[in-house]
Chain A
Amino acid sequence: MWPIMKITYREMISKRIFTITILMSLAFLLLFGVATWYAAREMNESWGGRASDMLLQKNFFSTQLLGMGLYFGSFITALLAILSSVGSIAHEVESHQIDTWLARALPRHRYVLGKFGGLTSMLVLYALLMFLGILGINQWVGGGMLAVDVSAQQIGTSLGYFILMPVILVCVSLLLSSITTTVTGGIILIILYGISFIGGFVEQIGSILGENALINIGIISSLLFPTDSLFRQSTVALFEAAEDPISFASQGIFGTTSPPSQLMFFYTLFYGAATLALAVRLFGKRDV
Protein backbone atom coordinates (compact mmCIF):
# COMPACT_ATOMS: atom_id res chain seq x y z
CA MET A 1 0.00 0.00 0.00
CA TRP A 2 2.89 2.35 0.83
CA PRO A 3 4.30 2.45 -2.75
CA ILE A 4 0.85 3.48 -4.02
CA MET A 5 0.58 6.18 -1.33
CA LYS A 6 4.05 7.40 -2.24
CA ILE A 7 3.30 7.61 -5.93
CA THR A 8 0.04 9.40 -5.12
CA TYR A 9 2.01 12.06 -3.22
CA ARG A 10 4.38 12.43 -6.13
CA GLU A 11 1.51 12.67 -8.57
CA MET A 12 -0.30 15.34 -6.57
CA ILE A 13 2.81 17.42 -6.13
CA SER A 14 3.72 17.11 -9.79
CA LYS A 15 0.30 18.35 -10.92
CA ARG A 16 0.03 21.99 -11.85
CA ILE A 17 -3.34 22.25 -10.14
CA PHE A 18 -1.66 21.54 -6.81
CA THR A 19 0.99 24.23 -7.26
CA ILE A 20 -1.62 26.74 -8.41
CA THR A 21 -3.88 25.92 -5.45
CA ILE A 22 -1.01 26.35 -2.99
CA LEU A 23 -0.06 29.71 -4.51
CA MET A 24 -3.66 30.90 -4.61
CA SER A 25 -4.18 29.72 -1.03
CA LEU A 26 -1.19 31.78 0.08
CA ALA A 27 -2.61 34.75 -1.85
CA PHE A 28 -5.96 34.21 -0.12
CA LEU A 29 -4.36 34.05 3.33
CA LEU A 30 -2.40 37.22 2.55
CA LEU A 31 -5.56 38.99 1.43
CA PHE A 32 -7.47 37.73 4.45
CA GLY A 33 -4.66 38.97 6.69
CA VAL A 34 -4.68 42.43 5.08
CA ALA A 35 -8.48 42.66 5.32
CA THR A 36 -8.39 41.58 8.98
CA TRP A 37 -5.65 44.11 9.75
CA TYR A 38 -7.59 46.97 8.15
CA ALA A 39 -10.87 45.89 9.78
CA ALA A 40 -9.17 45.72 13.20
CA ARG A 41 -7.61 49.19 12.69
CA GLU A 42 -10.94 50.64 11.55
CA MET A 43 -12.77 49.20 14.54
CA ASN A 44 -10.06 50.44 16.85
CA GLU A 45 -10.34 53.94 15.42
CA SER A 46 -14.15 53.96 15.45
CA TRP A 47 -14.78 52.44 18.84
CA GLY A 48 -11.49 53.05 20.62
CA GLY A 49 -11.97 52.96 24.34
CA ARG A 50 -15.68 52.12 24.03
CA ALA A 51 -14.84 48.60 22.93
CA SER A 52 -16.35 47.05 26.03
CA ASP A 53 -19.63 48.88 25.29
CA MET A 54 -19.63 47.55 21.76
CA LEU A 55 -18.93 43.91 22.75
CA LEU A 56 -21.87 42.50 20.84
CA GLN A 57 -20.96 44.29 17.62
CA LYS A 58 -17.28 43.36 18.03
CA ASN A 59 -18.11 39.69 18.51
CA PHE A 60 -20.53 39.75 15.59
CA PHE A 61 -17.97 41.27 13.19
CA SER A 62 -15.12 39.06 14.35
CA THR A 63 -17.12 35.80 13.98
CA GLN A 64 -18.47 36.97 10.62
CA LEU A 65 -15.00 37.69 9.29
CA LEU A 66 -13.57 34.42 10.61
CA GLY A 67 -16.63 32.50 9.40
CA MET A 68 -16.20 33.98 5.94
CA GLY A 69 -12.52 33.01 5.90
CA LEU A 70 -13.30 29.46 6.99
CA TYR A 71 -16.10 29.15 4.45
CA PHE A 72 -13.82 30.13 1.62
CA GLY A 73 -11.07 27.91 3.07
CA SER A 74 -13.41 24.91 3.11
CA PHE A 75 -14.51 25.73 -0.43
CA ILE A 76 -11.01 25.70 -1.91
CA THR A 77 -10.12 22.61 0.13
CA ALA A 78 -13.16 20.91 -1.40
CA LEU A 79 -12.20 22.00 -4.90
CA LEU A 80 -8.65 20.74 -4.45
CA ALA A 81 -10.00 17.45 -3.07
CA ILE A 82 -12.33 17.02 -6.06
CA LEU A 83 -9.82 18.00 -8.72
CA SER A 84 -6.98 15.93 -7.35
CA SER A 85 -8.91 12.77 -6.58
CA VAL A 86 -11.67 12.36 -9.15
CA GLY A 87 -9.26 11.19 -11.84
CA SER A 88 -6.92 9.33 -9.54
CA ILE A 89 -8.13 5.90 -10.65
CA ALA A 90 -10.26 6.72 -13.70
CA HIS A 91 -7.47 8.57 -15.50
CA GLU A 92 -5.05 5.71 -14.92
CA VAL A 93 -7.58 3.23 -16.27
CA GLU A 94 -8.31 5.43 -19.31
CA SER A 95 -4.62 5.87 -20.11
CA HIS A 96 -3.76 2.21 -19.27
CA GLN A 97 -1.11 3.42 -16.83
CA ILE A 98 -2.77 1.20 -14.25
CA ASP A 99 -2.03 -2.00 -16.20
CA THR A 100 1.54 -2.44 -15.04
CA TRP A 101 0.66 -1.63 -11.41
CA LEU A 102 -2.20 -4.12 -11.25
CA ALA A 103 -0.26 -6.78 -13.15
CA ARG A 104 1.99 -6.90 -10.07
CA ALA A 105 1.16 -9.03 -7.03
CA LEU A 106 -0.92 -6.16 -5.69
CA PRO A 107 -4.49 -6.79 -4.53
CA ARG A 108 -6.87 -4.22 -5.95
CA HIS A 109 -8.18 -3.20 -2.53
CA ARG A 110 -4.65 -2.17 -1.57
CA TYR A 111 -4.45 -0.03 -4.67
CA VAL A 112 -7.66 1.83 -3.76
CA LEU A 113 -6.69 2.13 -0.09
CA GLY A 114 -3.21 3.33 -1.09
CA LYS A 115 -4.79 6.04 -3.20
CA PHE A 116 -7.13 6.89 -0.31
CA GLY A 117 -4.23 7.08 2.16
CA GLY A 118 -2.12 9.26 -0.12
CA LEU A 119 -4.89 11.65 -1.08
CA THR A 120 -6.43 12.04 2.35
CA SER A 121 -3.14 12.55 4.18
CA MET A 122 -2.15 15.31 1.75
CA LEU A 123 -5.57 16.95 1.81
CA VAL A 124 -5.93 16.68 5.58
CA LEU A 125 -2.55 18.40 5.90
CA TYR A 126 -3.69 21.10 3.50
CA ALA A 127 -7.02 21.58 5.36
CA LEU A 128 -5.18 21.67 8.69
CA LEU A 129 -2.78 24.37 7.50
CA MET A 130 -5.63 26.32 5.91
CA PHE A 131 -7.72 26.20 9.10
CA LEU A 132 -4.82 27.12 11.36
CA GLY A 133 -3.69 29.84 8.93
CA ILE A 134 -7.13 31.50 8.93
CA LEU A 135 -7.53 31.14 12.70
CA GLY A 136 -3.97 32.35 13.30
CA ILE A 137 -4.60 35.49 11.23
CA ASN A 138 -7.79 36.11 13.21
CA GLN A 139 -6.02 35.68 16.53
CA TRP A 140 -2.78 37.53 15.85
CA VAL A 141 -3.53 40.03 13.09
CA GLY A 142 -7.05 40.72 14.41
CA GLY A 143 -5.63 41.53 17.82
CA GLY A 144 -7.90 42.56 20.71
CA MET A 145 -10.59 43.95 18.41
CA LEU A 146 -11.22 41.06 15.98
CA ALA A 147 -9.82 37.96 17.69
CA VAL A 148 -12.62 35.52 18.41
CA ASP A 149 -12.44 34.19 21.93
CA VAL A 150 -11.96 30.44 21.48
CA SER A 151 -10.67 27.69 23.72
CA ALA A 152 -8.21 24.96 22.68
CA GLN A 153 -11.00 22.39 22.96
CA GLN A 154 -13.22 24.43 20.61
CA ILE A 155 -10.37 24.70 18.10
CA GLY A 156 -9.72 20.97 18.29
CA THR A 157 -13.36 20.00 17.76
CA SER A 158 -13.88 22.53 14.99
CA LEU A 159 -10.67 21.43 13.27
CA GLY A 160 -11.80 17.81 13.46
CA TYR A 161 -14.97 18.59 11.52
CA PHE A 162 -13.08 20.84 9.10
CA ILE A 163 -10.51 18.23 8.11
CA LEU A 164 -13.13 15.48 7.86
CA MET A 165 -14.69 17.22 4.87
CA PRO A 166 -11.89 16.44 2.35
CA VAL A 167 -11.78 12.86 3.68
CA ILE A 168 -15.47 12.38 2.84
CA LEU A 169 -14.95 14.02 -0.53
CA VAL A 170 -12.06 11.68 -1.33
CA CYS A 171 -14.17 8.64 -0.38
CA VAL A 172 -16.95 9.65 -2.78
CA SER A 173 -14.47 10.73 -5.40
CA LEU A 174 -12.71 7.35 -5.30
CA LEU A 175 -16.05 5.61 -5.66
CA LEU A 176 -16.85 7.63 -8.78
CA SER A 177 -13.29 7.26 -10.07
CA SER A 178 -13.56 3.47 -9.66
CA ILE A 179 -16.66 3.09 -11.76
CA THR A 180 -16.73 5.91 -14.27
CA THR A 181 -14.57 8.27 -16.31
CA THR A 182 -12.74 11.31 -14.98
CA VAL A 183 -15.07 13.79 -16.68
CA THR A 184 -18.29 12.02 -15.65
CA GLY A 185 -17.07 11.57 -12.08
CA GLY A 186 -15.99 15.21 -11.90
CA ILE A 187 -19.36 16.46 -13.10
CA ILE A 188 -21.30 14.24 -10.69
CA LEU A 189 -19.11 15.23 -7.75
CA ILE A 190 -19.29 18.96 -8.43
CA ILE A 191 -23.09 18.73 -8.77
CA LEU A 192 -23.30 16.80 -5.49
CA TYR A 193 -21.10 19.37 -3.79
CA GLY A 194 -23.27 22.14 -5.26
CA ILE A 195 -26.45 20.44 -3.98
CA SER A 196 -24.93 20.21 -0.51
CA PHE A 197 -23.73 23.83 -0.70
CA ILE A 198 -27.11 25.24 -1.82
CA GLY A 199 -29.04 22.82 0.40
CA GLY A 200 -27.13 24.13 3.42
CA PHE A 201 -28.18 27.72 2.68
CA VAL A 202 -31.79 26.66 1.95
CA GLU A 203 -31.96 24.86 5.29
CA GLN A 204 -30.66 27.90 7.20
CA ILE A 205 -33.11 30.22 5.42
CA GLY A 206 -35.91 27.74 6.13
CA SER A 207 -34.93 27.72 9.78
CA ILE A 208 -34.99 31.55 9.98
CA LEU A 209 -38.38 31.70 8.20
CA GLY A 210 -39.75 28.70 10.07
CA GLU A 211 -40.44 26.93 6.75
CA ASN A 212 -40.34 23.16 7.27
CA ALA A 213 -40.30 22.42 3.54
CA LEU A 214 -37.04 24.36 3.13
CA ILE A 215 -35.55 22.72 6.22
CA ASN A 216 -36.45 19.29 4.81
CA ILE A 217 -34.83 20.13 1.47
CA GLY A 218 -31.67 21.00 3.37
CA ILE A 219 -31.80 17.77 5.36
CA ILE A 220 -32.31 15.69 2.23
CA SER A 221 -29.41 17.43 0.48
CA SER A 222 -27.22 16.77 3.53
CA LEU A 223 -28.21 13.11 3.48
CA LEU A 224 -27.36 12.99 -0.20
CA PHE A 225 -23.97 14.63 0.32
CA PRO A 226 -23.12 15.62 3.88
CA THR A 227 -20.16 18.00 3.37
CA ASP A 228 -22.04 21.22 4.15
CA SER A 229 -23.20 19.83 7.49
CA LEU A 230 -19.54 19.27 8.40
CA PHE A 231 -18.79 22.94 7.80
CA ARG A 232 -21.83 23.90 9.90
CA GLN A 233 -20.68 21.62 12.70
CA SER A 234 -17.20 23.12 12.47
CA THR A 235 -18.41 26.72 12.88
CA VAL A 236 -20.90 25.79 15.59
CA ALA A 237 -18.08 24.08 17.52
CA LEU A 238 -15.86 27.16 17.10
CA PHE A 239 -18.32 29.97 17.80
CA GLU A 240 -20.80 28.43 20.22
CA ALA A 241 -19.54 28.83 23.79
CA ALA A 242 -21.53 26.94 26.40
CA GLU A 243 -21.33 29.78 28.89
CA ASP A 244 -22.37 32.40 26.31
CA PRO A 245 -26.14 32.89 26.11
CA ILE A 246 -25.86 34.62 22.73
CA SER A 247 -25.03 32.33 19.83
CA PHE A 248 -22.71 33.94 17.33
CA ALA A 249 -22.72 30.73 15.34
CA SER A 250 -26.24 31.54 14.19
CA GLN A 251 -25.51 35.07 13.02
CA GLY A 252 -24.94 36.41 9.49
CA ILE A 253 -24.79 34.82 6.05
CA PHE A 254 -22.47 31.99 7.13
CA GLY A 255 -24.36 31.43 10.36
CA THR A 256 -26.03 28.18 11.37
CA THR A 257 -29.47 28.61 12.86
CA SER A 258 -30.29 24.95 12.29
CA PRO A 259 -27.20 23.08 13.57
CA PRO A 260 -26.70 19.47 12.43
CA SER A 261 -27.38 16.85 15.08
CA GLN A 262 -24.80 14.44 16.50
CA LEU A 263 -26.61 11.72 14.57
CA MET A 264 -25.76 13.58 11.37
CA PHE A 265 -22.09 13.39 12.30
CA PHE A 266 -22.27 9.62 12.70
CA TYR A 267 -24.23 9.41 9.45
CA THR A 268 -21.40 11.35 7.75
CA LEU A 269 -18.80 8.92 9.10
CA PHE A 270 -20.90 5.98 7.94
CA TYR A 271 -21.40 7.67 4.56
CA GLY A 272 -17.62 8.01 4.06
CA ALA A 273 -16.86 4.46 5.18
CA ALA A 274 -19.65 3.01 3.04
CA THR A 275 -18.60 4.85 -0.13
CA LEU A 276 -14.98 3.81 0.37
CA ALA A 277 -16.00 0.19 0.95
CA LEU A 278 -18.16 0.35 -2.17
CA ALA A 279 -15.25 1.82 -4.15
CA VAL A 280 -13.03 -1.09 -3.07
CA ARG A 281 -15.71 -3.64 -3.90
CA LEU A 282 -16.68 -2.25 -7.30
CA PHE A 283 -13.12 -1.62 -8.38
CA GLY A 284 -12.26 -5.22 -7.48
CA LYS A 285 -15.00 -6.46 -9.80
CA ARG A 286 -14.46 -4.25 -12.82
CA ASP A 287 -12.30 -4.81 -15.88
CA VAL A 288 -9.53 -2.31 -16.42
Chain B
Amino acid sequence: MSNYVIETWDLSKQYNGKAGCKNITLQVPRGSVFGFLGQNGAGKSTFVRTMLGLLHPTAGKAVMLGHPIGTVESRQKVGYLPELFRYPDWLTGQQLLEHHAQLCGLSRSQGRAVIRDVLEQVGMAGRERERIRGYSKGMQQRIGIACALLSDPELIFLDEPTSALDPIGRKEVRELITRLRDQGKTIFLNSHLLSEMESVCNYVGIIHRSELVVHGDWRKLSSVAPQVELTVEAASFSAGEELPAFVTESRLLREAASRATWLLTLDQDNRVPALLQALVGRGAAVHEVVQKQQSLEEVFLYWVQKKEGEAHVADHENHV
Protein backbone atom coordinates (compact mmCIF):
# COMPACT_ATOMS: atom_id res chain seq x y z
CA MET B 1 0.00 0.00 0.00
CA SER B 2 1.40 3.36 -1.05
CA ASN B 3 2.19 5.95 1.58
CA TYR B 4 0.39 8.51 -0.53
CA VAL B 5 -3.35 8.64 -1.14
CA ILE B 6 -2.92 11.21 -3.89
CA GLU B 7 -0.08 11.48 -6.36
CA THR B 8 -0.19 13.81 -9.33
CA TRP B 9 2.28 14.46 -12.12
CA ASP B 10 1.94 17.74 -14.02
CA LEU B 11 -1.82 17.55 -13.69
CA SER B 12 -3.52 20.39 -15.55
CA LYS B 13 -7.06 21.44 -16.15
CA GLN B 14 -7.23 24.59 -18.17
CA TYR B 15 -10.00 26.38 -19.99
CA ASN B 16 -8.75 27.55 -23.38
CA GLY B 17 -5.25 27.60 -21.97
CA LYS B 18 -6.24 29.82 -19.06
CA ALA B 19 -7.16 29.62 -15.36
CA GLY B 20 -7.93 26.26 -13.73
CA CYS B 21 -4.86 24.47 -12.42
CA LYS B 22 -1.58 23.91 -14.22
CA ASN B 23 1.24 21.37 -13.90
CA ILE B 24 0.35 20.30 -10.37
CA THR B 25 2.77 17.71 -9.05
CA LEU B 26 2.15 16.75 -5.46
CA GLN B 27 1.85 13.87 -3.02
CA VAL B 28 -0.58 13.73 -0.13
CA PRO B 29 0.61 11.42 2.68
CA ARG B 30 -1.85 8.86 4.02
CA GLY B 31 -3.39 9.84 7.35
CA SER B 32 -2.55 13.52 7.02
CA VAL B 33 -4.70 16.62 7.04
CA PHE B 34 -3.58 18.30 3.85
CA GLY B 35 -4.49 21.94 3.46
CA PHE B 36 -4.68 23.22 -0.09
CA LEU B 37 -4.20 26.95 0.21
CA GLY B 38 -4.74 29.66 -2.30
CA GLN B 39 -6.57 32.84 -3.00
CA ASN B 40 -10.07 32.84 -4.46
CA GLY B 41 -9.84 31.65 -8.05
CA ALA B 42 -6.37 30.20 -7.62
CA GLY B 43 -7.51 26.80 -8.89
CA LYS B 44 -8.14 24.87 -5.65
CA SER B 45 -11.65 23.67 -6.48
CA THR B 46 -10.67 22.92 -10.09
CA PHE B 47 -7.95 20.61 -8.80
CA VAL B 48 -10.36 18.80 -6.45
CA ARG B 49 -13.04 18.46 -9.14
CA THR B 50 -10.44 17.08 -11.54
CA MET B 51 -9.34 14.53 -8.96
CA LEU B 52 -12.95 13.44 -8.52
CA GLY B 53 -13.54 12.99 -12.24
CA LEU B 54 -16.03 15.85 -12.48
CA LEU B 55 -13.61 17.64 -14.80
CA HIS B 56 -11.39 15.95 -17.34
CA PRO B 57 -7.71 16.90 -17.10
CA THR B 58 -6.17 18.64 -20.10
CA ALA B 59 -2.70 17.26 -19.33
CA GLY B 60 -0.74 15.19 -16.85
CA LYS B 61 -1.82 12.23 -14.79
CA ALA B 62 -2.87 11.44 -11.27
CA VAL B 63 -3.54 8.50 -9.00
CA MET B 64 -5.98 8.49 -6.11
CA LEU B 65 -6.01 5.61 -3.61
CA GLY B 66 -3.89 3.63 -6.05
CA HIS B 67 -6.15 4.05 -9.07
CA PRO B 68 -5.99 6.49 -11.98
CA ILE B 69 -8.37 9.41 -11.54
CA GLY B 70 -11.58 9.30 -13.52
CA THR B 71 -12.06 5.60 -12.78
CA VAL B 72 -14.84 4.29 -10.56
CA GLU B 73 -12.26 2.47 -8.41
CA SER B 74 -10.48 5.71 -7.56
CA ARG B 75 -13.70 7.09 -6.01
CA GLN B 76 -14.68 3.91 -4.15
CA LYS B 77 -13.50 5.12 -0.73
CA VAL B 78 -13.74 8.85 -1.18
CA GLY B 79 -16.04 11.40 0.46
CA TYR B 80 -16.65 14.86 -0.93
CA LEU B 81 -18.18 18.07 0.35
CA PRO B 82 -18.35 20.53 -2.55
CA GLU B 83 -17.79 24.23 -2.14
CA LEU B 84 -21.16 24.92 -3.76
CA PHE B 85 -23.11 22.44 -1.68
CA ARG B 86 -26.52 22.13 -3.30
CA TYR B 87 -28.78 19.21 -2.59
CA PRO B 88 -32.26 18.41 -3.91
CA ASP B 89 -34.27 20.62 -1.60
CA TRP B 90 -37.42 18.54 -1.97
CA LEU B 91 -35.73 15.69 -0.10
CA THR B 92 -35.44 15.44 3.65
CA GLY B 93 -31.98 15.11 5.14
CA GLN B 94 -32.73 11.47 5.90
CA GLN B 95 -33.85 10.74 2.32
CA LEU B 96 -30.73 12.40 0.93
CA LEU B 97 -28.50 10.27 3.12
CA GLU B 98 -30.49 7.13 2.23
CA HIS B 99 -29.96 7.74 -1.48
CA HIS B 100 -26.25 8.28 -0.94
CA ALA B 101 -26.08 5.18 1.26
CA GLN B 102 -27.60 3.17 -1.60
CA LEU B 103 -25.07 4.60 -4.03
CA CYS B 104 -22.35 3.53 -1.60
CA GLY B 105 -23.75 0.00 -1.80
CA LEU B 106 -24.87 -0.12 1.84
CA SER B 107 -27.74 -2.42 2.75
CA ARG B 108 -30.86 -0.90 4.32
CA SER B 109 -29.84 -1.89 7.86
CA GLN B 110 -26.22 -0.85 7.37
CA GLY B 111 -27.42 2.42 5.91
CA ARG B 112 -29.68 3.14 8.87
CA ALA B 113 -26.87 2.57 11.37
CA VAL B 114 -24.33 4.64 9.41
CA ILE B 115 -26.81 7.48 8.87
CA ARG B 116 -27.54 7.63 12.60
CA ASP B 117 -23.83 7.75 13.29
CA VAL B 118 -22.95 10.49 10.77
CA LEU B 119 -25.91 12.61 11.85
CA GLU B 120 -24.58 12.47 15.40
CA GLN B 121 -21.09 13.36 14.21
CA VAL B 122 -22.22 16.50 12.40
CA GLY B 123 -24.74 17.57 15.02
CA MET B 124 -27.82 17.05 12.85
CA ALA B 125 -29.51 14.28 14.82
CA GLY B 126 -33.18 15.12 15.29
CA ARG B 127 -33.33 17.39 12.23
CA GLU B 128 -33.06 14.68 9.58
CA ARG B 129 -36.83 14.42 8.95
CA GLU B 130 -37.05 18.05 7.83
CA ARG B 131 -36.90 19.03 4.17
CA ILE B 132 -33.58 20.41 2.99
CA ARG B 133 -35.34 23.50 1.67
CA GLY B 134 -36.06 24.41 5.30
CA TYR B 135 -32.42 24.03 6.38
CA SER B 136 -30.20 27.02 7.00
CA LYS B 137 -26.95 27.28 5.00
CA GLY B 138 -25.02 25.96 7.97
CA MET B 139 -27.35 22.96 8.33
CA GLN B 140 -27.00 22.22 4.62
CA GLN B 141 -23.25 22.29 5.01
CA ARG B 142 -23.49 19.92 7.96
CA ILE B 143 -25.70 17.47 6.06
CA GLY B 144 -23.18 17.74 3.21
CA ILE B 145 -20.38 16.72 5.57
CA ALA B 146 -22.58 13.83 6.74
CA CYS B 147 -22.93 12.76 3.10
CA ALA B 148 -19.18 12.88 2.65
CA LEU B 149 -18.66 10.58 5.65
CA LEU B 150 -21.30 7.99 4.72
CA SER B 151 -19.09 5.54 2.87
CA ASP B 152 -16.51 5.40 5.68
CA PRO B 153 -14.04 6.97 3.24
CA GLU B 154 -10.27 6.70 3.43
CA LEU B 155 -9.92 10.09 1.75
CA ILE B 156 -12.25 13.02 2.34
CA PHE B 157 -12.26 16.17 0.24
CA LEU B 158 -13.71 19.11 2.13
CA ASP B 159 -13.96 22.20 -0.05
CA GLU B 160 -14.38 25.26 2.18
CA PRO B 161 -16.15 23.15 4.84
CA THR B 162 -16.81 25.98 7.27
CA SER B 163 -17.84 28.72 4.86
CA ALA B 164 -21.44 28.77 6.10
CA LEU B 165 -20.85 27.89 9.74
CA ASP B 166 -20.91 30.06 12.85
CA PRO B 167 -17.89 30.09 15.20
CA ILE B 168 -19.24 27.16 17.24
CA GLY B 169 -19.92 25.19 14.07
CA ARG B 170 -16.40 25.92 12.85
CA LYS B 171 -14.92 24.68 16.06
CA GLU B 172 -17.02 21.50 15.84
CA VAL B 173 -15.84 20.88 12.28
CA ARG B 174 -12.22 21.39 13.33
CA GLU B 175 -12.72 18.84 16.10
CA LEU B 176 -14.40 16.46 13.65
CA ILE B 177 -11.43 16.77 11.27
CA THR B 178 -9.04 15.99 14.10
CA ARG B 179 -11.13 12.95 15.08
CA LEU B 180 -11.17 11.71 11.50
CA ARG B 181 -7.40 12.15 11.25
CA ASP B 182 -7.00 10.17 14.47
CA GLN B 183 -9.04 7.38 12.85
CA GLY B 184 -6.39 7.21 10.14
CA LYS B 185 -8.37 9.00 7.44
CA THR B 186 -6.79 11.51 5.10
CA ILE B 187 -8.46 14.89 4.84
CA PHE B 188 -7.87 17.10 1.84
CA LEU B 189 -8.96 20.52 3.00
CA ASN B 190 -9.51 23.36 0.56
CA SER B 191 -9.69 26.74 2.16
CA HIS B 192 -8.43 30.25 2.18
CA LEU B 193 -9.14 30.66 5.91
CA LEU B 194 -5.54 30.25 7.01
CA SER B 195 -6.09 30.67 10.72
CA GLU B 196 -8.46 27.70 10.67
CA MET B 197 -6.16 25.58 8.57
CA GLU B 198 -3.21 26.26 10.85
CA SER B 199 -4.72 24.42 13.77
CA VAL B 200 -5.70 21.25 11.91
CA CYS B 201 -3.34 20.81 8.97
CA ASN B 202 0.05 19.18 9.14
CA TYR B 203 0.75 19.29 5.42
CA VAL B 204 -0.07 22.06 3.00
CA GLY B 205 0.15 22.83 -0.68
CA ILE B 206 0.15 26.45 -1.78
CA ILE B 207 -1.39 27.20 -5.14
CA HIS B 208 -1.08 30.59 -6.76
CA ARG B 209 -2.44 31.62 -10.15
CA SER B 210 -3.14 28.00 -11.12
CA GLU B 211 0.34 26.74 -10.25
CA LEU B 212 1.56 24.87 -7.22
CA VAL B 213 4.18 26.99 -5.46
CA VAL B 214 5.27 24.57 -2.77
CA HIS B 215 4.00 21.67 -0.71
CA GLY B 216 5.06 19.69 2.34
CA ASP B 217 5.00 19.81 6.15
CA TRP B 218 4.06 23.44 6.66
CA ARG B 219 6.25 23.91 9.72
CA LYS B 220 9.21 22.97 7.54
CA LEU B 221 8.19 25.43 4.87
CA SER B 222 9.12 28.26 7.16
CA SER B 223 10.89 30.88 5.13
CA VAL B 224 12.73 32.70 7.84
CA ALA B 225 15.76 31.51 9.84
CA PRO B 226 14.90 30.40 13.40
CA GLN B 227 14.42 33.32 15.77
CA VAL B 228 14.04 33.78 19.51
CA GLU B 229 12.76 36.66 21.57
CA LEU B 230 15.10 37.17 24.46
CA THR B 231 14.16 39.25 27.51
CA VAL B 232 17.09 40.13 29.77
CA GLU B 233 18.05 42.56 32.51
CA ALA B 234 19.17 45.47 30.36
CA ALA B 235 22.26 46.25 32.39
CA SER B 236 23.53 42.66 32.27
CA PHE B 237 23.52 42.27 28.49
CA SER B 238 25.06 43.96 25.53
CA ALA B 239 24.38 42.41 22.15
CA GLY B 240 27.58 43.51 20.47
CA GLU B 241 30.21 41.47 22.28
CA GLU B 242 28.41 38.81 24.27
CA LEU B 243 26.69 36.88 21.49
CA PRO B 244 28.05 33.57 20.17
CA ALA B 245 28.85 33.15 16.48
CA PHE B 246 25.70 31.14 15.64
CA VAL B 247 23.59 34.24 16.32
CA THR B 248 23.58 35.78 12.89
CA GLU B 249 21.54 38.86 13.66
CA SER B 250 20.24 40.76 16.67
CA ARG B 251 17.76 43.59 16.99
CA LEU B 252 16.47 45.41 20.05
CA LEU B 253 12.69 45.18 20.03
CA ARG B 254 11.76 47.15 23.14
CA GLU B 255 13.00 48.33 26.50
CA ALA B 256 10.72 48.65 29.49
CA ALA B 257 11.75 49.42 33.08
CA SER B 258 15.09 47.69 33.46
CA ARG B 259 14.35 44.93 30.94
CA ALA B 260 15.26 44.74 27.29
CA THR B 261 13.73 42.43 24.68
CA TRP B 262 15.89 41.38 21.75
CA LEU B 263 15.07 39.48 18.59
CA LEU B 264 17.91 37.09 17.82
CA THR B 265 18.26 35.17 14.57
CA LEU B 266 20.03 31.81 14.81
CA ASP B 267 21.72 29.79 12.10
CA GLN B 268 19.85 26.61 13.18
CA ASP B 269 16.71 26.03 15.24
CA ASN B 270 18.48 23.67 17.72
CA ARG B 271 20.75 26.38 19.07
CA VAL B 272 18.54 27.57 21.92
CA PRO B 273 20.17 25.49 24.74
CA ALA B 274 23.62 26.58 23.59
CA LEU B 275 22.47 30.18 23.43
CA LEU B 276 21.16 30.02 26.99
CA GLN B 277 24.36 28.43 28.25
CA ALA B 278 26.46 31.11 26.57
CA LEU B 279 24.33 33.96 27.92
CA VAL B 280 24.29 32.67 31.51
CA GLY B 281 28.00 31.93 31.28
CA ARG B 282 28.63 35.53 30.36
CA GLY B 283 26.58 36.83 33.26
CA ALA B 284 23.43 37.87 31.46
CA ALA B 285 20.32 37.85 33.69
CA VAL B 286 17.79 36.05 31.44
CA HIS B 287 14.11 36.54 32.21
CA GLU B 288 12.52 34.85 29.20
CA VAL B 289 13.36 33.08 25.93
CA VAL B 290 10.53 32.54 23.45
CA GLN B 291 11.12 30.60 20.24
CA LYS B 292 9.37 32.41 17.42
CA GLN B 293 7.02 30.24 15.31
CA GLN B 294 5.93 31.52 11.92
CA SER B 295 2.20 31.44 11.42
CA LEU B 296 0.71 29.65 8.43
CA GLU B 297 -0.33 33.03 7.13
CA GLU B 298 3.27 34.22 7.18
CA VAL B 299 4.41 31.03 5.43
CA PHE B 300 1.69 31.42 2.83
CA LEU B 301 2.43 35.09 2.19
CA TYR B 302 6.15 34.43 1.96
CA TRP B 303 5.75 31.78 -0.75
CA VAL B 304 3.11 33.68 -2.68
CA GLN B 305 5.17 36.87 -2.67
CA LYS B 306 8.26 34.90 -3.66
CA LYS B 307 6.35 33.41 -6.59
CA GLU B 308 5.06 36.85 -7.58
CA GLY B 309 8.60 38.23 -7.48
CA GLU B 310 9.91 35.40 -9.68
CA ALA B 311 7.06 35.96 -12.13
CA HIS B 312 7.82 39.67 -12.20
CA VAL B 313 11.52 39.06 -12.95
CA ALA B 314 10.63 36.53 -15.68
CA ASP B 315 8.22 39.03 -17.24
CA HIS B 316 10.86 41.73 -17.15
CA GLU B 317 13.46 39.45 -18.81
CA ASN B 318 10.96 38.48 -21.51
CA HIS B 319 10.36 42.14 -22.30
CA VAL B 320 14.09 42.88 -22.47
**A contact set with B: CB distance below 8 Å:** 2-3, 6-7, 10-11, 14, 95-97, 99-107, 285, 287-288
Contact = CB atoms under 8 A, between A and B. Distances in A.
B43 interface: no
A200 B56 CA distance: 43
Contact of A3 (B78, B90, B103): B103
B266 interface: no
23 contacts: A3-B99, A3-B102, A6-B99, A6-B102, A7-B88, A10-B95, A11-B88, A11-B90, A100-B85, A100-B87, A100-B144, A102-B52, A102-B54, A103-B54, A103-B75, A103-B78, A103-B157, A104-B100, A104-B151, A105-B72, A106-B103, A287-B54, A288-B55
Chain B interface mostly: loop
B304 interface: no
Interface string B39-63: 0000000000100111110000000
A96 B72 contact: no
A2 B102 contact: yes
Contact of B82 (A14, A99, A287): A99
Interface string B62-103: 000000000011011010101011111011000100011011
Contacts of A107: 72
Contacts of A287: 54-56
Nearest to A287: B55
B104 interface: yes
A11 B89 CA distance: 10
Contacts of B78: 103
B232 interface: no
Given A10-B95, A99-B54, A99-B80, A104 B88 contact: no
A217 B151 CA distance: 56
B212 interface: no
B103 A101 contact: yes
A218 B179 CA distance: 68
A90 B282 CA distance: 76
A151 B86 CA distance: 52
Instruction: Pick the most buried of A7, A99, A104: most chain B CB atoms within 10 A of its CB.
Output: A104
B147 interface: yes
A14 B75 contact: no
Nearest to B80: A103
Instruction: Pick the most buried of A2, A96, A103: most chain B CB atoms within 10 A of its CB.
Output: A103
Contacts of A101: 103
B80 A100 contact: yes
Nearest to B148: A100
Contacts of B75: 103-105
A100 B82 contact: yes
B214 to A, nearest CB: 27
Contact of A7 (B52, B84, B99, B147): B99
Nearest to B55: A287
Nearest to A99: B82
A105 B88 contact: no
Contacts of B103: 3, 101, 104-106
A93 to B, nearest CB: 10
Contact of B52 (A10, A11, A96, A103): A103
A3 B97 CA distance: 12
Contacts of A11: 88, 90
A191 to B, nearest CB: 29
Contacts of B102: 2-3, 6
Contacts of B147: 100
Contact of B84 (A96, A103, A105, A285): A96
Contacts of B100: 100, 104
